[in-house]
């Protein structure tokens, strides 16, 4: 099973989607059962992978990935331009294992939440399963082209899931989501093409040059020899095998001298080295997905109009693709620009924390309040990355996992009240604790977990990010301490908007807006809702009390990431700036 477990994770939902496609439209309940079975198998494989994954055995480079599957997909000669190569290349490390586990869990929760869907059930679950395949593929792909395919393919299912099954303004929200994400994808595509023209696959090139006999295992000596010949400009262009491999792009010795994105190319655009421009384009593409202020405005509209299960998927796993892209692609490939723009990235993170919290404080729509809280909390991911400390990066990864669990719970509790009253306005309710005590208990857990109460996973992630930010001036010298101090105020604002909503809606004398009294049936939680909320509450507590369960998996990768980025970044930054002066 080890040989194909990653492919099973990616394509199990797709297989379930094919089964749903072949089923008659009238078989709605069996369709739901097939979708649930597909996501349960995916979750089972994710849990199996989590327990078999050895976080302590990792190191930098391709050797740092486990359960690797690598097959030639597209490979042909371009004559004097060398060989064109795209691979089916997937693997898992400390960053992706947390996202794989999160995706598996949320996929099942989303199907259970979707059980009440009645409109075009077949189309809904087809799109849902396609979305799960795309998201899982993003978290496992190690070939940039493969990653981009999965990244782009997420657009279509989400566009239709919002546009068809969403609220009154669903078309507007879906188009806004699509345009924002498509623009970001174009930025990523431009840089991906530039990287492809600048990087070779040393192992494939060694075979092309005859340094490796056919069928011989790849060895470090042959790769080192190819890299040396490359930097000496002694390899003919026709013999180069260019690649989309992300691990190959992380190694500076694989860049072709004189290419657009080589550290010594000296190419300048708008008074910035082309590598810095490439970093900014990639950063913008993934920041839209995070989302970071000021490219966040699509998110509140998408959340408000999306049905509850899709809001859960959007907040819990789709936003994490943006943060994951920054960690997997942007910083390791352009560490020099990452070091150079630390204050910019950290500043945008702090701006997102404060601005998102202030907007949440002003909201009367409970769902929009939680949407803006997501903007605020994902700002901690940017701050942790910008610190480039081991604590900060661990905190950023932990925040993505923790926020995925907690935000899913938050949107589910909003869905509960909306299903009963068809209204989410905070000022239209008071004293709900008396009518819905069990529901109120889960709301309290979700709110306090999100604002970072000790004992919950949110506290661990925020603590690590803040420790990393405060220690950054001494450890890396890249991030001023005042940014972290300002970020602390975001925690106070989070307490303010959550406690205000909790006090206003759930405590005091029972009251409901008169126009809602006839149609609102405020019953407490049912069995299906318990089935969704109880596991999420347990996970938020479990990873808050025992953080080593995740930190042991991600710690070595996070430390290796910071060492790689700092070492390569400082060396390459000096080289880039020197080439500009010449």
Q: Which residues of 308-332 are buried (b: 16+ CB within 10 A; e: fewer)?
A: bbbbbbbbbbbbbbbbbbbbbbbbb
Domain membership flag for residue 173 = no
The token pair at 144 is 């940039």
Mean pLDDT along residues 204-230? 77
Quote the CA–CA distance of 158 and 301 in Å, as a whole number. Answer: 13
How does pLDDT run across 348-372, given as a tens digit for each residue? 999 999 999 999 999 999 999 999 9
Residue 241 to residues 192, 262, 436: CA-CA distances in angstroms? 16, 17, 64
pLDDT reported for residue 213: 66
- Count of the separate structural domains present in the chain: 1
What range does the domain containing 451 cover? 341-545
Domain membership flag for residue 457 = yes
The token pair at 269 is 């655009």
Global pTM reads 0.93
pLDDT reported for residue 14: 96
pLDDT reported for residue 239: 83
pLDDT reported for residue 580: 61
Mean pLDDT along residues 305-313? 92
pLDDT reported for residue 59: 47
Domain membership flag for residue 379 = yes
Residue 307 to residues 3, 263, 313, 391: CA-CA distances in angstroms? 37, 47, 10, 36
Say if residues 527 and 435 touch (Cβ distance below 8 Å): no
Task: Give the residue, 518 or 190, on which the prediction is more confident.
Answer: 190
Cis check for the bond before 291: say yes or no (omega within 30 of 0). Answer: yes
Quote the CA–CA distance of 89 and 372 in Å, as a whole number. Answer: 36
The token pair at 252 is 């500076």
Find how far residue 419's CA is from the centre of its chain: 29
Of the CA atoms within 13 Å of residue 376, those in its CB half-sphere come to 32
The secondary structure element, H or E, covering residue 85 is: strand 83-92
Quote the CA–CA distance of 388 and 347 in Å, as a whole number. Answer: 14
The token pair at 243 is 């690649």
Work out the burial of residue 54: count CB atoms within 10 Å of its CB; fewer than 13 is exposed, 13-18 middle, 19 or more buried: exposed
Domain membership flag for residue 254 = no
Which residue, 387, 510, 502, 531, is CA-closest to 443? 502
Mean pLDDT along residues 118-136? 94
Mean pLDDT along residues 158-168? 91
Quote the CA–CA distance of 84 and 82 in Å, as a whole number. Answer: 7
pLDDT reported for residue 534: 96
Q: What are the residues whose beta carbons fall under 8 Å from the beta carbon of 255, sequence distance 6 or more?
A: 198, 199, 261, 262, 263
Q: What are the residues whose beta carbons fall under 8 Å from the beta carbon of 531, sequence distance 6 or more?
A: 112
Residue 68 has pLDDT above 80, yes or no: yes
Tokens 């347990």 sit on residue: 538
Domain membership flag for residue 573 = no
Task: Give the residue, 138 or 78, on which the prediction is more confident.
Answer: 138
Provide the mean pLDDT of the chain.
89
Confidence of residue 58 (pLDDT cuts 50, 70, 90): low
Residue 21 has pLDDT above 90, yes or no: yes
Work out the burial of residue 168: count CB atoms within 10 Å of its CB; fewer than 13 is exposed, 13-18 middle, 19 or more buried: exposed
Residue 181 has pLDDT above 70, yes or no: yes
Quote the CA–CA distance of 40 and 52 in Å, as a whole number. Answer: 18
The token pair at 486 is 């300002």
The token pair at 442 is 């889960």
Quote the CA–CA distance of 539 and 527 in Å, as a whole number. Answer: 19
Domain membership flag for residue 503 = yes
The token pair at 386 is 């910008």
Residue 209 has pLDDT above 90, yes or no: no
How does pLDDT run across 38-50, given as a tens digit for each residue? 999 999 999 999 9
Domain membership flag for residue 462 = yes
φ and ψ at residue 423, rounded to 5 degrees: -155, 145
Question: Could you count the other beta carbons within 10 Å of the beta carbon of residue 538?
Answer: 12
Which residue, 461, 464, 329, is CA-closest to 407? 461
Domain membership flag for residue 308 = no
pLDDT reported for residue 111: 95
DSSP-derived 3-state class of residue 67: strand
The secondary structure element, H or E, covering residue 574 is: helix 548-581
Quote the CA–CA distance of 357 and 536 in Å, as a whole number. Answer: 23
DSSP-derived 3-state class of residue 211: coil
The token pair at 26 is 């009238």
DSSP state of 283: H
Say if residues 529 and 68 touch (Cβ distance below 8 Å): no
Pairing of strands 66-77, 268-269: unpaired
């Amino acid at each position: 099973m080890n040989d194909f477990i990653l492919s099973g994770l990616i394509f199990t939902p797709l297989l379930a989607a094919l089964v749903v496609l072949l089923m008659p439209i009238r078989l709605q309940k069996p369709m739901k059962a097939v979708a649930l079975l597909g996501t349960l198998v995916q979750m089972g494989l994710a849990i199996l992978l989590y327990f078999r994954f050895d976080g302590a055995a990792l190191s930098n480079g391709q050797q740092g990935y486990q359960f690797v599957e690598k097959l030639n997909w597209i490979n042909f000669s371009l004559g004097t331009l060398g060989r064109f190569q795209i691979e089916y290349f997937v693997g898992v490390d400390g960053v992706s294992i947390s996202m794989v586990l999160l995706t598996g869990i949320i996929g099942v929760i989303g199907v259970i939440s979707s059980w009440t869907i009645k409109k075009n059930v077949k189309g809904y679950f087809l799109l849902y399963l396609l979305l799960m395949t795309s998201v899982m593929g993003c978290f496992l792909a190690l070939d940039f082209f493969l990653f981009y395919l999965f990244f782009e393919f997420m657009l279509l299912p989400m566009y239709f899931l919002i546009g068809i099954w969403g609220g009154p303004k669903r078309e507007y929200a879906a188009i806004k989501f699509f345009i924002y994400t498509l623009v970001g994808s174009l930025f990523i595509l431009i840089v991906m093409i530039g990287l492809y023209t600048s990087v070779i696959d040393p192992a494939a090139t060694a075979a092309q040059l005859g340094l490796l006999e056919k069928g011989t295992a790849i060895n470090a000596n042959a790769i080192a020899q190819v890299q040396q010949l490359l930097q000496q400009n002694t390899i003919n262009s026709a013999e180069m095998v260019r690649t989309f491999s992300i691990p190959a792009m992380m190694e500076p010795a694989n860049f072709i001298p004189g290419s657009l994105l080589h550290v010594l190319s000296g190419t300048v655009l708008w008074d910035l080295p082309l590598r810095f421009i490439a970093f900014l384009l990639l950063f913008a593409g993934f920041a839209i997905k995070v989302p970071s202020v000021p490219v966040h405005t699509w998110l509140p509209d998408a959340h408000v109009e999306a049905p509850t299960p899709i809001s859960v998927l959007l907040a819990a796993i789709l936003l994490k693709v943006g943060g994951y892209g920054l960690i997997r692609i942007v910083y390791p490939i352009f560490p020099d620009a990452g070091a150079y723009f630390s204050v910019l990235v950290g500043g945008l993170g702090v701006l997102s924390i404060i601005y998102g919290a202030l907007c949440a404080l002003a909201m009367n729509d409970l769902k929009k309040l939680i949407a803006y809280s997501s903007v605020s909390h994902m700002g901690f991911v940017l701050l942790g990355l910008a610190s480039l400390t081991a604590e900060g990066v661990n905190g950023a990864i932990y925040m993505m996992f923790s926020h995925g669990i907690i935000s899913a719970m938050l949107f589910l509790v909003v869905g509960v009240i909306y299903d009963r009253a068809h209204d989410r306005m905070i000022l239209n309710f008071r004293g709900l604790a008396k009518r819905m005590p069990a529901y109120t208990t889960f709301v309290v857990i979700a709110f306090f977990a999100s604002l970072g109460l000790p004992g919950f996973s949110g506290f661990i992630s925020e603590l690590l990010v803040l420790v990393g930010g405060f220690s950054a001036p001494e450890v890396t010298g890249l991030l001023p301490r005042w940014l972290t101090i300002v970020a602390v105020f975001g925690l106070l604002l989070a307490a303010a908007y959550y406690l205000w909503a909790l006090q206003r809606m759930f405590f005091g004398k029972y009251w409901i807006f008169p126009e809602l009294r006839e149609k609102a049936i405020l019953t407490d939680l049912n069995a299906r809702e318990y089935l969704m909320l109880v596991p999420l509450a347990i996970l938020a507590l479990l990873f808050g009390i025992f953080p080593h369960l995740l930190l042991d998996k991600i710690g070595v990768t996070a430390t290796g990431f910071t060492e790689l980025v700092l070492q390569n970044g400082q060396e390459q930054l000096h080289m880039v700036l020197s080439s500009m002066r010449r």
